[in-house]
Structures are given as structure tokens and as C-alpha cells.
Homo-oligomer: A and B are copies of this chain.
């Protein structure tokens, strides 16, 4: 049996009692941290808190050659992941591979940035449209390519008066993208569009370290967020649509938003 156990947003205390029960029944405990990082803890602290040995798997061992999966044919195997498992397509694919091998699967849910971010921003969850990831630019021989997808998703959502949640890229070499980096990439796409710069003066909400004691939520014009130091990762960006009065109140009170947004 393979049990996906979500361990939450930030540190080793974000696990549930159900997650600990699954670990205590497990013959082997694996973990992967490339789809989501636990910034507030270490493997040692997790092993101590969970009272188990954890084997950390590489991206290749999850996506290309998951030979460790064979243990789950006869043993209880737990895979620890940050956030709520199965939010990542990678885990759905892994669940299908397990099923191909005749392995039953179970899920222990956990806090996810998908639900935490709207609440921290004081925005109404049902007013979010499609979400997107802002990827790092990639380089060809002659130029740097910046993805226009997140920009287009924002425009489409704004046209429907919906908020947009933007996940920021995690790269093995370049690390976790920051909110200023993300804003700068949106601005670069914006500059190349014909019709003015709607994004430049649009509002943005930056969220840093959700789930930690020093979570930071700040709402301002995107151009002002581009120069704000949000500190350590993980970062997330929201581009809101028009604000309900309660949403504006919450942003002024809890996200240091300028008074004029009300």
C-alpha cells in the first residue's frame, strides 16, 4: 500500500495526527521536496518529530524510475510531500503507476497554499478564476523567452472580474522565484503589448512564508511590489479583480494596502 501524506506548508509541526498514524504504521517512509519545499524545517527535525527514518527521493526517482514503488506491493509505504498531496500532477501520475502495479493508494490531506493564500489575503475564495505558474525565462542562442501565459491568464480573469493566483517557479539552480522577480516578468510582457500598460498600475498581493509565524502579506500597486523586500521564500502573488468592500477592508487592515483601494 502507498499512502500519500501531506505535511503542510512550512515546518515539521504542520503534519496531522492522521499523518503521524500513517507513518507509525509504515515499513518505509520516503519524501520528495521538489514539487513543494518545507522552508521552516530540516530532514533531521522531521525525522525527530515523526520518529522515523526518511529517504528523500530525487525528481528522477519520482518521475522517471520510481523503483522504490515496488516496496509498496508487500509493505506499507508512505510518501511525504509538502502541501496537500495530489495537487501536483506528478503525484496523480505516481498514483496511476502504483495502480498499474496493483498497489492500493490512500491520501492523508493537509494544508495547501491553494486554500491558505486566499484566506490570508482576505479574498473570497469563489472569486478566483484559473490559476497559473510564472516560470523562470529560458534562454535560446539568440534571445531570452518570457512566458506570456500567466499574463494572458490574468487578463482573461480580469475580463471576467476574477482574482488570479500565481504560483512562482522553483528551479534547481535559480532557487525559488521572488515576488519582485515575478512582477518584473509580468511587466516585461506588459511592455511588449500594444495597448498601454494596464498591469503597471494594477494591484498585486504578495504573500511570503504562508504557514510560518512570520507570514507577510502585502498589497500595493504591482510596480511598488517590484521593489519591496519580502524576505525568505516561498513567495506567491495574487492579482485581484475589483474588490468587494469586505475584501478591501481586510487588505487595508492585514496587508498594509493603501487606503484608496476602498
Contacts and interface: CB of A to CB of B under 8 A. Distances in A.
B17 A14 contact: yes
Interface string A111-151: 11011101110101111111111000000000000000000
Interface stretch (A23-31, A173-181, A245-253): A245-253
Contacts of A206: none
Nearest to A114: B115
Interface residues of A, number: 58
A137 to B, nearest CB: 20
Interface in A76-133: 83-87, 89, 91-93, 95-96, 99, 107, 109-112, 114-116, 118-120, 122, 124-133
A162 interface: yes
**Copies of this chain, whole number:** 2
Contacts of A253: 96, 99
A95 B14 CA distance: 22
Interface in A1-48: 6, 8-9, 11-18, 20-21
CB-based closest 8 A-B pairs: A86-B119, A112-B115, A109-B111, A84-B115, A13-B17, A114-B115, A13-B18, A126-B131
Given A14-B18, A114-B125, 4 more contacts: A16-B16, A109-B119, A114-B115, A130-B160
